[in-house]
Amino acid sequence: MLIIPAIDILGGKVVRLRQGDYSAKTVYSADPIKLARQFEAQGADRLHIVDLDGARTGRPLNQALILRIREAVSIPIEVGGGIRDVKTAQTYLKAGIDRIILGTAAIPLIKKLGAARVIAGLDLHGTKVATQGWTKTTRNYLDYARELKRLGVTEVICTDIARDGMLGKPNLKPILKLKKLGFQVIASGGVSDTESLRQLQAAGIRGAIIGKALYEKKLSLALALAAVRPPSGLAKRIIPCLDIKNGRVVKGVGFKNLRDAGDPVALGRYYSEQGADELVFLDITATVEKRRTLVELVRRIAREINIPFCVGGGIQSIADIKALLEAGADKISLGTAAVKNPGLVTRAARRFGSQCIVISIDAKRAKNQWLLTIRGGRELTELDAIEFAGDMERRGAGELLVNSLDRDGTKKGYDLELLRAISSRVRIPVIASSGAGKMKDFLEALTLGRADAALAASLFHYGKVKIPTLKRYLARNQIGIRPCVSSSRRRGSGDDLDFQKLGGLIPVIIQNAQTQQTLMLGFMNREAYEKTRQTGFVWFYSRTRQRLWKKGEESGNALKVLKILPDCDRDTLLIKAIPTGPTCHTGEPSCFGDEGDALTELFEVIRERKKTLPKNSYTASLFRAGLPHISAKVLEESVEVIHAAKKETKQRVIEEAADLLYHLLVLLAEKNLTLKNVRMELQKRSVKM
């Protein structure tokens, strides 16, 4: 449903009348253009502008001002008041006004102009239509509506004058009757709370015009938009950020004047228990001081939490990314390295998957654009942040972390304009960062800013906002959010695991952390579990030998633990591990044998990505870019295979050949071809060889 702020102009100023009484007006702004820009910045779907002087006199006295508003904003505008001849109507339409609202002169003008860009205004005194600035009444509104319908009018604005400006409830009876006649109905008059908006939406109403409720701050535009937004199916996320310096969590303003905010391990555990959806750990001085992120600290934090975890700061290479993911991070964040070496993003997305690659965009306002900064905000570049975001999506990034240096640490709210600009530019998820000072800021970031997640630091670190309280607030305002499950459970503590269901044992599924392949099933007792935690390698309890045994103690093919995840009933474990060799005694990588033709399975995944185009998929980004881009990637990979064959190791040849095969499969899918087509051609050729 459309949310449409009203701008009623009288004597060049923004006013609201009460029940159409010109003597009972309240002036809210002397600058209609500035107000229109504010509504656009806040996410309004369109603007409803009425020339009240024109409505009363029959002449468009504020037309020049309204056309300046048209030049100042880009969202759709509908205009009414004083449009009673063809010349006035055409002046508005030729100047880019999207729809004109016709009241008194509707029928004769529609006969001359057609109904395509006309909205009929039905202003009601009871069951009668009011005209000439609501000063006179004429015929029954339903009879009038039927005549409009015969002329081809499809959209009407229904205003109950008795409800207008009274901050009450809309009159649903005439609205629903007009809808029953087949009109798209926009409700006006008495729309002043979220309950009314939801009621209108449930009735299938096209939109709602909101005036006095906005100006009197009874209802914010953010709440109105949130009340009617369609459920996306994807929960919004709340993400605490741990900025790290010298092994401690710090916080400052604009990345400067840093002060201590606590121990990262303890805070990570606390946020995990409080119901945070994810955690971000940024070593904010690593790039400047030429240090790599402290992998051991990442490993320690990962042992304590049971939520996804992102790591950034000082990451320069594929080897750095691999080390962090193996230490337990679910995602990595690239900032300066992505700017200096954008090819790293492409290679990382191919190697580890787009879902692992987050790009940190540190932006600073510079006149009419945002410029990128690097090295922890200390160096301003000439790169446009919005264009950079689009480039990162094309290169395979799965998510963008958007930091505003102008808002960082200020608690003045997120930079909604920046968030909206980037969210409109890309299809991958956007995380809002920098500036949160109160719970309403999160709501606005997730609605007006169109962000998929909201991140904050000091607000959480110093207890100004509690995550469970914030999530309840967002849920009350119709934001799809994962509920908090308050718990003292933490990864690494086996006290609450249920070892009793199987006589002191618990089943353990082992998964390859790099390929996600299921490797084996084993059993642990409490002692084996503790041994696994302490050593970082998988230990089992052998039911045949009646003793503990370390996986690989004879073959040398051990399993290095990355993560230990209990299921919801706490009676089964999933361990993500790095195998040092074949897991099965037969020499196969998995005890479950060959999981199928890898090339065929990969091709099926690629075809599914083409069908669904998920937001954070590198493959989907290729399909969105189209055949020319895919073809260029195949050529690029062919060159890299040749280069690797001439000058690099066999392993590099394997890796580059895999990249080439992958992009060839994407090309086949783009052309609606299959592997079967290729195999049949190869079979034909094999006969001739």
Question: From residue 69, how far is each of 79, 236, 520, 545 by CA, in Å?
Answer: 11, 34, 66, 82
Mean pLDDT throughout 118-142? 80
Cβ proximity of 69 and 95 under 8 Å:
no
Q: What is the pLDDT of residues 260-291, one digit of tens each?
A: 556 888 888 888 888 899 999 888 665 444 45
- Residue 384 confidence class, pLDDT cut points 50, 70, 90: very high
* 536 closest CA partner among 564, 556, 495: 564
Average pLDDT over residues 31-56: 90
Selected residue with higher pLDDT from 101 and 564:
101
For the chain, the average pLDDT equals 85
**Token output for 602:** 């990969």
Q: Look-up: residue for tokens 């006004």?
A: 97
Using pLDDT thresholds of 50, 70 and 90, give the confidence band for residue 643: confident
- The residues facing 48 across adjacent strands are 6, 78
Please pick, among 53, 160, 243, 452, the residue that the annotation labels catalytic.
Answer: 243
Residue 580 pLDDT > 50: yes
**660: alpha, beta or left? (left if phi > 0; alpha if psi -120 to 50):** alpha
Please report the domains of the chain, with CATH numbers, ordered by start residue: 2-228 (3.20.20.70), 237-476 (3.20.20.70), 506-579 (3.10.20.810), 598-688 (1.10.287.1080)
* Residue 201: predicted pLDDT: 87
> Is 688 a residue whose pLDDT tops 60?
no
- Which of 193, 330, 362, 452 is the catalytic position? 362
Q: What pLDDT, in 10s, does the model give residues 583-602?
A: 988 888 888 865 556 678 78
pLDDT of residue 104: 64
pLDDT tier for residue 44 given thresholds of 50, 70 and 90: confident
Residue 521 pLDDT level (bands cut at 50, 70, 90) = very high
Verify whether residue 243 is a known catalytic residue: yes
Q: Give the pLDDT score at 233.
A: 52
Q: Can you tell me the distance from the alpha carbon of 131 to that of 159, in angstroms, rounded to the nearest whole number? A: 12
The most confident of the ranges 135-149, 215-229, 322-336, 473-487 is 322-336
Tell me if 521 sits within 8 A of 509, measured CB to CB: yes
pLDDT class of 210 with cuts at 50, 70, 90: very high
pLDDT at 515 over 80: no
Which range, 78-92, 190-204, 218-232, 513-527, has the best average confidence (pLDDT)?
78-92
The stretch 184-189 carries a mean pLDDT of 91
| Global confidence as pTM | 0.55
Residue 516 has pLDDT above 80, yes or no: no
Confidence of residue 130 (pLDDT cuts 50, 70, 90): confident
Bridge-based pairing state of the strands 573-579 and 559-566: antiparallel
Least confident segment among 14-18, 226-230, 464-468: 226-230
Crossing angle of helices 343-352 and 650-670, in 10° steps, is 80
Question: Lowest-pLDDT range, 104-108, 113-117, 250-254?
Answer: 250-254
Verify whether residue 362 is a known catalytic residue.
yes
Say what the pLDDT of residue 50 is.
Answer: 94
Least confident of 258-262, 540-544, 666-670: 258-262
